[in-house]
Amino acid sequence: MHNNKTVLSGNIVKLYPLKQTPEGLQVASFVLEHSSMQKEAKIDRTVKCRMFCLIVGVSSEQISQLEYDSISVEGFLSQNSKAQVVLNVTKIIDKGT
- Dump pLDDT digits (tens) for 12-21: 999 999 999 9
What CATH number has the domain bearing residue 22?
A: 2.40.50.140
Q: How many domains are there within the chain? A: 1
Whole-number pLDDT of residue 96: 64
- Ranges assigned E (strand) in the chain: 6-15, 19-20, 26-40, 43-56, 70-79, 85-95
Q: Is the pLDDT of residue 97 over 60?
A: no
Q: Which domain holds residue 55?
A: 6-95
Tens digit of pLDDT for each residue in 61-84? Answer: 888 888 877 899 999 999 988 889
**Mean pLDDT of the 39-64 span:** 92
**Considering the domain boundaries, does residue 1 fall inside one?**
no
> pTM of the predicted model, to two decimals?
0.88
Instruction: Name the pLDDT band for 95 (thresholds 50, 70, 90).
Output: confident
